[in-house]
Amino acid sequence: MEITLADIGRRFNQDWVFRRLNYQFTAGHRYAVLGPNGSGKSTLLQVIASSLTPSSGQIRYATGGHTIEPDHIYRHISLVAPYMELIEEFTLVEQIRFHFTHKKYQYGLDEQLFMERLGLQHAKNKQIRYFSSGMKQRVKLALACYADTPVVLLDEPTTNLDHQGIDWYINLIDETKGDRLLLVCSNQEKEYGFCEHFIHITDYKA
């Protein structure tokens, strides 16, 4: 999978969040988008995920030499962000089964193994609405990382996680990173310490 940003910019009204951003993301590499709170990291992530359209420039998705249309890129991407919500009325098992009707498990994984690695077997029949914020974050991360998608996008991935949860997150990334394209938006090194390439969003201010 390759994602190419060509002179990308995004603005709200007359204010540019970033502009003139040229970059190519490729499979097998890990990237971090860095910058202070409110600098535009999440906006860039949403543009890359095709949740927002760029205000200028073009974005191209390709795999195996074939172009993927932006309307179809969601099939190839797993995304975790603070603004994303789980289905509160579902139990954990129902949430997992619902998610994996739309995505495939990574090779060799099934519902039982997923539950074991998530470490929340005791809560499998509890409604999501009764989960702590840290438990919900674990579920979101596991659903994204254990899905068989070539691209994983993570925005502030350790939000609401305690020290044990952060260790679990780091192990999760190490276990699932494979040859996929992984991108983390963060201003905390503990969240992106495994990344090899860095984009400073403030370099692309108007």
Segment 65-103, tens digit of pLDDT: 899 999 999 999 999 999 899 999 999 999 999 999 999
Report how far residue 150's alpha carbon sits from residue 129's, in angstroms, rounded to the nearest whole number.
Answer: 30
Query: pTM for this structure?
Result: 0.94
Per-residue tokens: 102: 């739309």
Task: Give whole-number Cα distances, 101 to 13, 95, 96, 97, in Å.
Answer: 38, 10, 9, 6
Hey, how many other C-beta atoms are within 10 angstroms of the C-beta on 94? 15
SS3 181: strand
Mean pLDDT, residues 20-35 taken together: 97
Q: According to the model, what pLDDT value does residue 65 have?
A: 85
Q: Give per-residue pLDDT as tens, 32-62.
A: 999 999 999 999 999 999 999 999 999 999 9
CATH architecture under which domain 2-204 falls: 3-Layer(aba) Sandwich (3.40)
Task: Give whole-number Cα distances, 158 to 80, 161, 162, 175, 192, in Å.
Answer: 10, 5, 8, 17, 10
Mean pLDDT score across all residues of the chain: 95
- Side by side, which strands form the sheet with 181-186? 77-80, 151-155, 181-186, 30-34, 197-200
Q: According to the model, what pLDDT value does residue 64 have?
A: 87
Mean pLDDT, residues 108-134 taken together: 96
Domain residue spans of the chain: 2-204
Using the predicted structure, report yes or no on whether residue 206 has a pLDDT greater than 70: no
